[in-house]
Every structure is written in C-alpha cells, then in structure tokens.
Amino acid sequence: MKLLGIDYGRRRVGVAVTDSSGQHIRGLTTIDRKKHPDPLTPLISIISQENPDILILGLPLDINDAETVMSKEVRSFAQSLRERSGLPVDFADESYSSRRASSLMMFRKKKDRRDKAAIDRLAACLILEVYREDHA
C-alpha cells in the first residue's frame, strides 16, 4: 500500500511518500505557504502524480496525548484534503517530529542543518515511519 505523508505547518508543508510496498520512504518536497497560501492545490497535483492509496497527516498532541489548537487546524485541513482528493486520510502522532528531524539534520553539513524545507520533508518521512510502526 502506497502512503503519502504530510507534515502540515503554518509556514511550510513537508511531503513524503512510500513505494507501492509501503516499505521504502523518501521525502518528496516542501510546499512554502508564502508561495502557496492554500497548500491544497499543489498537494492535489502531487497526489495525482504519486497515486497513493492513503494520505497520512501528522497530528500534533501535547505531552498528555491531548489534541492541541494546531490539531484542530490539521483535522480541518484533512477534511478539505479528503473532499478534494477522494482518498482516505489517517493520522499519525507527530509529536516532536520536527525536533527529531532537526536533530537528525545535525549530522549533515553545516549549511544543510538550517534547511527548514529539508527538515519538513524529513518530518513527513518520520510521520510515515510512525504510522507504519503503529500499523505493522
């Protein structure tokens, strides 16, 4: 089953995808919200190119695993995405995915460490990894 992972943010939206077996994950792109205030349009284009079976959005939870203000925003975005794409949408706990991605980037070259778009793509990869582990 091919999955498309989305790290939704107010500034950028990271996107990652698995292969058709769902085993191999790769970062695809990062949508800059300054250039695309409504990220649905570029996402629908990516979805039509990649043809995933299901869309996975990172859902931010607080330290008590309760939903946050951002969680509500993500759920609203997920509903719009479901309606526009016609695909099922599921969620994966994205708690600290961006922090984990930033930590992993520390092992890269100095200029790459500050690449926020790369961090968001990596966060989308981590969201897919969490989803895969939770549904193994």
Find the CATH number of the domain harbouring 104.
3.30.420.140
CA torsion through residues 113, 50, 58, 34, sign: positive
Percentage, residues of the chain above pLDDT 90: 66
**Burial state string for 72-102 with b = 16 or more CB within 10 A and e = fewer than 16:** eebeebbeebeeebeeebebbebbebbebbb
**If pLDDT is split at 50, 70 and 90, which confidence band does 115 have?**
low
Q: Name which residue leads in pLDDT, 118 or 111.
A: 118
Q: Which amino acid is at 125?
A: C
Total number of domains in the chain: 1
| Whether pLDDT at 136 is above 90 | no
- Rounded to an integer, the average pLDDT of 45-57 is 98
- Rounded to an integer, the average pLDDT of 3-21 is 96
Domain extent, residue 44, equals 3-134
Predicted structure pTM score: 0.86
pLDDT the model gives residue 95: 73
